[in-house]
Amino acid sequence: MQLPPFKLERYFSQYEFSTKYLLCSSDCESISVSDLLSLEPGAEQGLKRLWLGYTESAGALTLRQEISRIYTSMAPEQILVHSGAEEAIFLFMQAMLQPGDHLIVHWPCYQSLFEIARSLGCEVTFWEARPQNGWAPDLDELRRLVRPSTRAIIINTPHNPTGYLMPQAGFRALNQFVQERGILLFSDEVYRGLEYDPAGGLSAACDLNSNAVSLGVMSKSYGLAGLRIGWIATHNTTVLTRMAALKDYTTICSSAPSEYLSELALRHRQQLVERNLYIIRGNLSLLDAFFAKNGDRFEWVRPKAGSIAFPRLVGEDVELFCHKLVSTAGVLLLPGTMYDHPGNHFRLGFARKNMPEALAQLEEYLGKQAG
C-alpha cells in the first residue's frame, strides 16, 4: 500500500504550533482536563483511581453505552471505538474494500476519505459539491454515478470544508437509495450536533439504514481532539467484525485516560456543544459583516453547520495569498489546493475564541495590501 502525503496535515505541521492566529482550524476551542473534570463531582478522584492497564478492544462498555445514547437505535455492541476518526476511516476501507471496487466520494473532502481507497486499488469517482449550488451535491447525479461495481458511497455532512448540511429529505432519500442497491454508506458525521438551526439536525445514517456506518469523534463538535477517541456505529455486523479484527493490528485498544475523559464529556455533551455553538454564532456574525464589507475580495457561501467554511478569494492566487498572510501577519488560512480544489477557495475556521483577533489581523493585512 502506497499512500501519498496527506497535504492538509503536512501544511498544518509547518504552522500549527508556531503561528499565532489559526484562522482555519477544523475543530472547536478545546478545554483543559481540569475544566472537563469540574463538570462532575467525583470525576477527579475517579481519574486518579483509574487503572492503567489495557482497555477493552471495542472500547470500554460504559463508554460505548454513552456513545450509543447519541443514536436512536444503537446498542453498545454496535459501537466500535477507535483512536480518532482517522483510524476508523483507515480500518473501514481496509476491512471493506477490495482492489477494483468502485467507490463514490462526496468531494471536496478530507483527504483520507478517498486516498486510502485509491491506494488499495479502488476506482474512485467524485460526487462533486459546487459553490454555485450552495455546495449542495445533486442526488440525481449520484444515482447516475452508481455502477454495478459500486461497493460504497462516502459522504460527509455537516461538511468539511464547506459547512454544508444536507436537508433531511435528501439525506433520507440517499439512505433509502443505497439500502435498496445494497451499497455501503460511510457517513462521516464528525460535525453532527453543530447545526446552527437545531431543526436542521439530521438523523444519524446508522439509525436510518442498516447498510450505513456513522463516524463520530470527540475532536470536532465537542472540541476534545487531544483525547483521540472516535468511533463507528452500525447495524452491519460484517463491518463491525472485520474492523475489530483489523484493529488488533493497529492500536488494539484506546488509551484508558482518554476513554474515561471521553465518557465524562459525553455525559455532558449537550453543554459542550452549546458552548461551542455559542462561540461559533458570535464569530459567524463577525464574518458576515467582514464578507459584506469585503465583497470585492471574497465570495462567501454562508455555512449551515460546523466550524469551517470555504470562501473564494477573488483577484489573487490563493496559495500565494495564504503564504504572504501567514509570513507577514501570522494568520493561517488553508488554501483550497490542499484539497486539490482548483476554484481559488480557502478554508476558514471559526470556532476558536481568538477568532475576532485573527479576523482583525486579516483585515489589517488587507488594508495594508490595498494601501
Ligand X SMILES: Cc1ncc(COP(=O)(O)O)c(C=O)c1O
Closest distance between ligand X and the C-beta of residue 110, in Å?
Answer: 4
222 versus 290: smaller Cβ distance to ligand X: 222
**Residue bearing cell 471536496:** 108
Of residues 184, 225, 305, 326, which one binds ligand X by CB under 6 A?
225
Question: What are the C-alpha distances in Å from 84 to residues 41, 262, 344?
Answer: 27, 11, 30
- H, E, C per residue of the chain: CCCCCCHHHHHHHHHCCCCCEECCCCCCCCCCHHHHHCCCCCHHHHHHHCCCCCCCCCCCHHHHHHHHCCCCCCCHHHEEEECHHHHHHHHHHHHHCCCCCEEEEEECCCCHHHHHHHHCCCEEEEEECCHHHCCCCCHHHHHHHCCCCEEEEEEECCCCCCCCCCCHHHHHHHHHHHHHHCCEEEEECCCCCCECCHHHCCCCHHHHCCCEEEEEECCCCCCCHHHCCEEEEECCHHHHHHHHHHHCCCCCCCCHHHHHHHHHHHHCHHHHHHHHHHHHHHHHHHHHHHHHHCCCCEECCCCCECCEECCEECCCCHHHHHHHHHHHHCEECEEHHHHCCCCCEEEEECCCCCHHHHHHHHHHHHHHHHC
Minimal distance in Å, beta carbon 161 to ligand X? 8
Contacts with ligand X in 158-187 (CB under 6 A)? Answer: 160
d(CA 62, CA 263) in angstroms, rounded, equals 7
Q: Which is nearer to ligand X, 110 or 290 (CB)?
A: 110
Alpha carbon distance 265, 223 (integer Å):
10
Residue whose CB is nearest to ligand X in the complex, by number: 84
**Closer to ligand X by Cβ: residue 184 or 329:** 184
Contact code string over 1-30 relative to ligand X, x by CB under 6 A: -------------------------x----
Q: Which of residues 109-148 bind ligand X (CB under 6 A)?
A: 110
Site for ligand X in 44-63 (CB under 6 A): none
Instruction: By CB under 6 A, tell whether 190 contacts ligand X.
Output: yes
> Which of 79, 217 has the CB closer to ligand X?
217
Contact letters (x/-) for ligand X, 70-109, by CB under 6 A? --------------xxx-----------------------
Q: 216: which strand partners?
A: 231
If binding is defined by CB under 6 A, does position 156 make contact with ligand X?
yes
Per rule CB under 6 A, is residue 153 in the interface with ligand X?
no
Task: Using CB under 6 A, count the residues that bind ligand X.
Answer: 13
Query: Is residue 230 involved in binding ligand X (CB under 6 A)?
Result: yes
Report the residue number, 234 or 361, with the smaller CB distance to ligand X: 234
Tell me the one-letter amino acid at 233. A
Cβ-based nearer residue to ligand X, 258 or 361: 258
For residues 297 and 352, which CB has a smaller minimum distance to ligand X in the complex? Answer: 352
Closer of 300 and 339 to ligand X (Cβ): 339
| Shortest separation between residue 156's beta carbon and ligand X, angstroms | 5
**CB of residue 8 to ligand X, shortest distance in Å:** 8
Between residues 84 and 303, which has the closer beta carbon with respect to ligand X?
84
Is 216 a binder of ligand X (CB under 6 A)?
Answer: no
CB of 113 to ligand X, least distance (A): 7
Q: Rounded to the nearest whole angstrom, what is the least distance from the CB of residue 230 to ligand X in the complex?
A: 5
Q: Which residue has the cell 439509525?
A: 207
Binding site residues, ligand X, CB under 6 A: 26, 84-86, 110, 156, 160, 188, 190, 217, 219, 225, 230
